[in-house]
Amino acid sequence: MKRLLALTALVTGLLPFIASPGMAEGQLKVYHWFEYIPQELVDKFEAETGIDVTIDTYDSNEAMLASLKAGKLGQYDVAVPGDYMVEIMRGEGLLDSYKPDEMPNFKNIAPEWLDVPFDPGRQHSIPYQWGSTAFAVNRNVYKGDISSLAIIFNPPEELKGKINVLDSQGEVLALGSLYLGIPQCSQDREQLKALNDMLLAAKANWASFGSDTAEDVLVSGDAAAGMIYNGFSAKARAEGANVEYAFPKEGYVVWMDNMVLLKDAPNRANALKFMNFLLDPKNAAAVTNYAAYNSGVTGVDPFLSDAVRNSPENNPPAGQKGEFIEACDQDTQKLYDAIWTNLKK
């Protein structure tokens, strides 16, 4: 019996080596967030070009950076970091660059997203999706005014103890800074002390920190208000929660995910083909309809589904400005790291 088991195990172990992928026009190795691109679109690309696409996933910008630094650089062709992470990767020399004439669809990039602070002139990246991060409130529990970040940081009675915040240093500290009206990468002692004290006081009213569960807690009622990405808020609404997404007057966080060309990409030409493919308005619309955020490509509008085009989460009121999260320099970052550790200790 034991021998049989061992034999089975041996055969089972050899099988992965027997199966081999078919290689026609080569391969493409994508490092991506899970379920951020519809499989049908990938299939379409594979059918059009004959390239074999594999997608590996990560669960946060920082985790992606960590694994690239620990040794995965050179295994992937493209990745999809957020705005501040593009800048960080640029500074660390993890990105390869391209010239606009290598991508015929380069002209489709929307002008307002062409010259971004984290990649001026778009030499390393293309826009993928953008959205905002603020908060949503369950209208069954609280019917008052929700136009201020005070809902999170100095909540009214009905919401105390029922608030979830994102478990992410960048977002929480950025929104906190916006609430207090202080700059994001400040080194001013008074301002930092104020931020530290305000967060500690606010924490007493928070039920939990959670990024994955941000949408779940609103639907299930564990939280009546919470920091959330606009797309998650739309999903919560679709699942029946009576939540309203807020665009606070103090400001909110705007983020953009971008597809970047990685240094030492094993299949650089195929990578450029893929990026070009995603700049086609029909394909960009397919991504947008799937992910329910906004695209950075012109001409997508006719192809968008009504639900996505008209969702309140994707249409901020005029005059409300969103801010990108800033990546601070080393000394400043140390101070913010200390504030976060202090908050969570």
**Rg of the chain's alpha carbons, rounded to an integer?**
22
Give the nearest distance from C-beta 306 to other proteins in angstroms: 19
CA 224 to chain centre: 23
Give the total residue count for the chain.
345
- Candidate residues 207, 253, 285, 287; the one interacting with other proteins per rule CB under 8 A: 207
Contact between 213 and other proteins by CB under 8 A: the answer reads yes
Contact between 57 and other proteins by CB under 8 A: the answer reads yes
Show the binding pattern over residues 33-52: x = contacts other proteins (CB under 8 A), - = does not: xxxx-xxx--x---------
In the chain, count H helices and then E strands: 13, 10
Question: Which burial class, exposed, middle or buried, applies to 336 when counting CB atoms under 10 A from its CB (0-12, 13-18, 19+)?
Answer: buried
Give the nearest distance from C-beta 104 to other proteins in angstroms: 28
Closer of 103 and 223 to other proteins (Cβ): 223
Widest CA span of the chain, in angstroms? 74
Contact between 273 and other proteins by CB under 8 A: the answer reads no
What's the CA gap between 16 and 148, in Å, rounded?
55
Closer of 113 and 293 to other proteins (Cβ): 293
Residues between 224 and 243 that touch other proteins (CB under 8 A):
232, 235, 238-240
State the CB neighbour count (10 A cutoff) for residue 312: 14
Residues between 142 and 181 that touch other proteins (CB under 8 A):
167-170
- Candidate residues 83, 96, 119, 216; the one interacting with other proteins per rule CB under 8 A: 216
Closer of 85 and 278 to other proteins (Cβ): 85
What's the CA gap between 134 and 171, in Å, rounded?
9
Contact between 209 and other proteins by CB under 8 A: the answer reads yes
Q: Would you say 196 and 131 are in contact if contact means Cβ atoms under 8 Å apart? A: no
Residues between 83 and 142 that touch other proteins (CB under 8 A):
88, 92
Give the nearest distance from C-beta 110 to other proteins in angstroms: 25
Give the nearest distance from C-beta 282 to other proteins in angstroms: 18
Contact between 23 and other proteins by CB under 8 A: the answer reads no
Query: And the tokens for 44?
Result: 């379409």
Closer of 113 and 128 to other proteins (Cβ): 128
Residues between 275 and 334 that touch other proteins (CB under 8 A):
330, 333-334
Give the nearest distance from C-beta 171 to other proteins in angstroms: 10
- Candidate residues 49, 67, 154, 298; the one interacting with other proteins per rule CB under 8 A: 67
**Helix, strand, coil share of the chain (percent; to 5):** 45, 20, 35
Contact between 18 and other proteins by CB under 8 A: the answer reads no
Closer of 206 and 255 to other proteins (Cβ): 206
Give the nearest distance from C-beta 2 to other proteins in angstroms: 9
Tell me the DSSP string of 250-270.
Answer: T-EEEEEEEEEEBTT-TTHHH
Q: Would you say 206 and 165 are in contact if contact means Cβ atoms under 8 Å apart? A: yes
Closer of 108 and 294 to other proteins (Cβ): 294
Q: Would you say 142 and 225 are in contact if contact means Cβ atoms under 8 Å apart? A: yes
Contacts of residue 53, Cβ cutoff 8 Å, sequence gap at least 6? 27, 28, 30, 42, 45, 46, 274
Query: And the tokens for 322?
Result: 């969103």
Closer of 102 and 222 to other proteins (Cβ): 222
What's the CA gap between 199 and 165, in Å, rounded?
11
Contact between 212 and other proteins by CB under 8 A: the answer reads yes
